[in-house]
Structure 1
Amino acid sequence: MRLSLNKDSYEDVNLYFQDEARFGMMNHLGSYLTASGVKPIVTYQHVFKTTYLYGSYSPINGDSFVWEINGVDNKIFEAYLGAFSNYKPKEYKIVVIDNAGFHSTKHIKVPKNIYLLRIPPYNPELNPCEQVWQYIKNRFKNQRFKTMQDLKKWLHEMINEMKAETIKSITGNHHYVNSFITTFKI
């Protein structure tokens, strides 16, 4: 990896993993404990209304930047990068992304304080952000929301409750962390 980094322009360098996840009104059923032979009663709804979370999570310091928005495309991704760039503008952000079609950088402007680093195709296990989504979705099971506003409120509360130590424990792969610390001598 070759970065041209003007150290006078930035106060800090951080590593983030970025990904998107869809959440919707259709509830996902999880396991229930019941007495032997008793079938659990679970309320279920089959509604196709969704929203997306765009998130960047740091295994270095547990920092996060999350957007809730309806949809995925190049323009939304570009807007997300712009907003993420403005979040701690004196921080140089190395952002690991997957190869989603809308992550194409041919026609979008990548901010100067963001460097996009792609993982190999078809390897979601290399992106610890996937474990963050799993963490949230495990708490999402068996939830039923009457309105999209209720769903969005739940997501905002869930994201805001996640502490830096939780994020570091979920995303903190020692290979990534050690390489980053060695490279940037933190």
Structure 2
Amino acid sequence: MRSSLNKDNYSDVNLYFQDEARFGMMTHLGKYLTASGIKPIVSYQHVFKTTYLYGSYSPIDGDRFVWEVNGVNTDVFEAYLKQFSLHRPKELKIVVIDNAGFHSTKNIEVPQNIHLLRIPPYAPELNPCEQIWQYIKQRYKNQRFESMEDLKKWLHGTVNKMSAETIKSITANHHYIDAFMATS
């Protein structure tokens, strides 16, 4: 990671929270509201095909950058950062990440317009991106997909339907926002 950042080189500065989540074809059962004495019927399948979403969400302006990939490792993380750097390329991105093993930055090139900040280990509650995944997974429960393409279409549609206001309301944390506003 770079030790000094020159904000003057960028037209804007933004705060993002980054994380990954796995989604698969296996049905995840949730609650259903039915009449008393009526047992809900849910179409269920037990298939172990999965995909991953890499996502960065901003509590400042509700911006998002989401990438759907078939795995998690250091090479994919580095490729994600490169693509994310091209999204709003004149923006300095301060990206809060967790301590996943594949987030190691020892042997990867971090783009110039991205600065990574780590949260303490074993503290997912400090990453508001976790609430984004909860929001999506609430809508994912009791869904059954005929193919991986159907699942991917559903994921893309769900992510794209999230408005900036929804993203800000889910990821907003006054501690982070106050600290960010005081330094920007």
TM-score > 0.5 by shorter chain: yes
- In structure 2, the residue matched to 1:179 is 179
Range with greater deviation from structure 2 (69-78 or 8-17) = 8-17
**Shift in Å at residue 5 of structure 1?**
2.4
The 5-angstrom pairing of residues 91-106 of structure 1 reads 91-106=91-106
- In structure 1, the residue matched to 2:48 is 48
- In structure 2, the residue matched to 1:144 is 144
- In 1, the alpha carbon distance for the partners of 2:180 and 2:7 equals 16
Contact preservation (8 Å) 2:50, 2:70:
yes
**Shift in Å at residue 32 of structure 1?**
1.1
- In 2, the alpha carbon distance for the partners of 1:42 and 1:89 equals 45
- In structure 2, the residue matched to 1:111 is 111
- In structure 2, the residue matched to 1:88 is 88
**What does the per-residue CA deviation read over 1:81-136, in whole Å, with 9 as the maximum and x for residues that have no partner?**
00001111110000000000000011111111111000000000000000000000
Q: Is 1:28 aligned to residue 45 of structure 2?
A: no
Q: Which amino acid aligns with 1:100?
A: A
Identity %: 77
**What does the per-residue CA deviation read over 1:17-51, in whole Å, with 9 as the maximum and x for residues that have no partner?**
00000000001111112222222111100000000
- In 1, the alpha carbon distance for the partners of 2:99 and 2:6 equals 28
Q: Is 1:10 aligned to residue 30 of structure 2?
A: no
- In structure 1, the residue matched to 2:60 is 60
- Output the TM-score relative to the length of structure 2: 0.97
**Shift in Å at residue 53 of structure 1?**
0.2
- In 1, the alpha carbon distance for the partners of 2:8 and 2:36 equals 66
Range with greater deviation from structure 2 (28-37 or 168-177) = 28-37
- In 2, the alpha carbon distance for the partners of 1:67 and 1:53 equals 6
Query: Where do 5+ consecutive residues of structure 2 fail to align?
Result: none
- In structure 1, the residue matched to 2:71 is 71
- In 1, the alpha carbon distance for the partners of 2:157 and 2:3 equals 36
SS of corresponding position for 2:95: strand
- In 2, the alpha carbon distance for the partners of 1:3 and 1:93 equals 15
Greater than 3 Å deviation, 4+ residue runs? none
- Output the TM-score relative to the length of structure 1: 0.96
SS of corresponding position for 1:177: helix
- In structure 2, the residue matched to 1:169 is 169
**Shift in Å at residue 3 of structure 1?**
6.1
Q: Which amino acid aligns with 1:124?
A: P
- In 1, the alpha carbon distance for the partners of 2:11 and 2:132 equals 27
Q: How many matched pairs?
A: 183
Distance 1:178 1:3, change over 3 A: farther
SS of corresponding position for 1:130: helix
SS of corresponding position for 1:16: strand
- In structure 2, the residue matched to 1:133 is 133
Query: Where do 5+ consecutive residues of structure 1 fail to align?
Result: none
Q: Which amino acid aligns with 1:14?
A: N
Q: Which amino acid aligns with 2:32?
A: Y
- In 2, the alpha carbon distance for the partners of 1:116 and 1:64 equals 16
